[in-house]
Amino acid sequence: MKSKTILIALMVYTSVNFAQKIKGSDTVLPLSQKEAETYMKTNKAAKITVTGGGSGVGLAALVDNTTDIAMSSRKIKMDEKIKLQDAGRPYKETIVAYDALSVIVNNSNKVSQLTREQLEGIFTGKIKNWKEVGGDDMQMVVYSRESSSGTFEFFKEHVMNKKNYAASVLSMPATGAIVQSVSQTKGAIGYIGLAYTDKSVKDLKVSYDAGKTYIAPSMETAKNKTYPIVRPLYYYYATAVEKAVKPFVDYVLSAEGQKIVEQVGYVPLSK
Amino acid sequence: MLSSSITSLTVVLIVVFLFKEGIGLFNQKPVEPGYVIAINKNNKVKELSSVQLKNIYDQKITHWSEVGGTHDSIVLFQLEDISNYYSDEQIGDNMQNLGSCMSRLVDSLPNIIAFFPDKYLDKKFQGTLLEVDKVTLHDFFAGKEWIPTAKPSAQLGVLPLILGTLWVSLGAILLALPLGLAAAVYMSEIANERVRRIMKPLIELLAGIPSVVYGFFGLVIIVPLIQKTFDLPVGETGLAGSIVLGIMALPTIITISEDAMRNTPRAMKEASLALGASRWQTIYKVIIPYSISGISAGAILGIGRAIGETMAVLMVTGNAAVIPHSILAPVRTIPATIAAELGETSNGGLHYKALFALGCILFLITLFINLTVEFISNRQKHNKH
């Protein structure tokens, strides 16, 4: 009898006090941290630990069952899907927020808008001088994120029509480094998350309809979907632990959770 | 005894792990696992290299004639394009008909090249599946393009990375060696005891500054400086990396060469002075020749530090994977590549293994350097007898 009560108490304890582990993309990390903090304030029993490491690290941890939720700034890859399938761990995918990318140039640059086709030309190395897109006679210096970042992949798929980056593109380890470099290099162009832009660099307006309309990146244009360069941020979790992680995921998707999304600088899901 | 055997065991385990993962690369195909590349069965082309595949999908090769086929233009297809050919009803709610749609599509378009997951490969698939060769040693070491995430076929040429690493380290040592040597001579022979007691800890402090701080300093101070001085479009260059690494290698070079110089027997110095040689003549005719092994060991250890340095280089060299033609061009080094890319790769995948193979190369380079140091310091012992 006694052992039974202990067992039940233990079960209740574990189900309430289920320590959740969230791991993965460094882009999603600040968001998850903030969400977890506020969630734990209202749900005293909940225990959530959030760690970064990269989208690949998170998804690999999901395969090894060392994390409950994997954060990812890119869609799961085919070989990761296959590994999850081989491990007998069906999973679910949820989009928790959007991240808008803005294309930035140096403040002294005359160019203030570009079409998608021009951006493709610039990042694949076909356009090399600013005078080809209506600027001064000045060599272009193209900055990008590291090839492994979700940002890099997304930009390639959605802006560059899946073509590969030119080898001469400079790749920087962090968004902050891109802002720093663009602000001190006259001919520079780069892309960063909307949350990171500041006065030291200039945001470009972008056109996805061959130059008919140019849209400036901002929270409003990203929210009403007129700004085109917006990517989803994902949570992946195994269906087996769905019961345990669902309350937190639901919280992130709730109105309150989405308010935090906006505070952190990402674009909330539209209802 | 116990602690030293544990240490050696750990080292051996790390090396074995590194090589096990790295060598696995050469058992893999550059195409993402789970995917196939198919063409129409009447197409004469049976084989494409990894580079050709990349150029086809980048639309640099647009006609089959360029890869040994007919004079027709290539029709590119990726799975997302399926909705341009078939409606959702035709594909089915759970994509159950996707396989047969793919089969029909590849059969109906004679000039198609299709890249899609093999689970949508129909049992009665009508096209030819292209054979892609495994990654070869030649592709890996002589390839000029490093685009590990390229689809459908990854480009794993490490030549620009190896050259970039060596280039930056060479620049660093050329900058650091004269400066370090001069400082060592000053500290061991010229400076008086009081100056020495202030300078020595200061120089050793240089070794204690975290490399990220060096990197940040380089990005904010040295990079704009280089850009202005040489009037370059971009300041993130090999030279910026060399300067930062040079500063980082200085304490190693100074400390080791100074120790070697101070080890010059007093009798030799005094004999030289007694013969009427000036202080300078004594320094470069007696002290430097005597301590040359120590100085070379310091220089080589300095290079070792420069080659393995990650963070500082990652921040200042621009990391463009092109073969450097001058020190004023952006370069990408091996450690920077590993640090920047490992976090996002899928565990055990092609890219992951390629990064481990890069780690092996780096290990072999530093091993070679350490053996050289060993060889030189052994020679020093012989000299003394």
CB-count burial class (<10 Å; 0-12, 13-18, 19+) for A255: exposed
| pTM (two decimals) | 0.78
Question: What is the pLDDT at residue A15?
Answer: 47
With contact defined as beta carbons under 8 Å apart, do B78 and B115 qualify? yes
Q: How confident is the model at residue B242 (pLDDT cuts 50, 70, 90)?
A: very high
On chain A, the residues whose CB falls within 8 A of the CB of B223 are 181, 184
Mean pLDDT of the B133-138 span: 82
With contact defined as beta carbons under 8 Å apart, do A252 and A269 qualify? no
Going by C-alpha positions, the residue among A158, A154, A157, A126 that lies closest to residue A142 is: A126
- Least trusted range by pLDDT, from B93-97, B245-249, B276-280: B93-97
On chain B, the residues whose CB falls within 8 A of the CB of A83 are 346, 348
Who's near A242: CB < 8 A, 6+ residues apart? A92
Mean pLDDT of the B216-235 span: 88
Q: How many CA atoms lie within 13 A of B60 on its CB side?
A: 15
Q: Which of A81, A141, A167 sits opposite B233 (nearest CB)?
A: A141
Q: How many CA atoms lie within 13 A of A28 on its CB side?
A: 36
- The domains found in chain B, sorted by start residue, are 35-133 (3.40.190.10), 159-384 (1.10.3720.10)
A183 reaches B (C-beta below 8 A): no
User: Which of A181, A182, A234 is most worth mutating to test chain B (most B CB atoms within 10 A of its CB)?
Assistant: A181
B219 reaches A (C-beta below 8 A): yes
Who's near A253: CB < 8 A, 6+ residues apart? A94, A96, A269
A174 to chain B: nearest residue by CA? Answer: B315
Q: Is the pLDDT reported for residue A208 higher than 80?
A: yes
Question: What is the pLDDT at residue A8?
Answer: 56
**How far apart are alpha carbons B6 and B8 in whole angstroms?**
6
User: Which of B52, B223, B234 is most worth mutating to test chain A (most A CB atoms within 10 A of its CB)?
Assistant: B234
- Least trusted range by pLDDT, from A39-48, A76-85, B366-375: A76-85
Question: What is the pLDDT at residue B1?
Answer: 81
Q: Is the ipTM of this complex over 0.85?
A: no
Q: Is the pLDDT reported for residue A271 higher than 60?
A: no
With a pLDDT cut of 70, the percent of chain B lying above it is 97
- For residue B56, give both structure tokens: 């086809």
Q: Which of B322, B330, B345 sits opposite A148 (nearest CB)?
A: B345
Question: How far out from the chain centre does Cα B160 lie?
Answer: 8
Mean pLDDT of the A70-97 span: 85
Give pairs for B280-284: CB < 8 Å, separation 24+.
B283/B185, B283/B189
Question: Could you read off the pLDDT of B58-78 as tens digits, one per residue?
Answer: 888 888 888 888 888 888 887
User: Which of A141, A143, A175 is most worth mutating to test chain B (most B CB atoms within 10 A of its CB)?
Assistant: A141
A87 reaches B (C-beta below 8 A): no
Q: Which of A60, A146, A185 sits opposite B341 (nearest CB)?
A: A146
Q: Is the pLDDT reported for residue B89 higher than 50?
A: yes
With a pLDDT cut of 70, the percent of chain A lying above it is 93
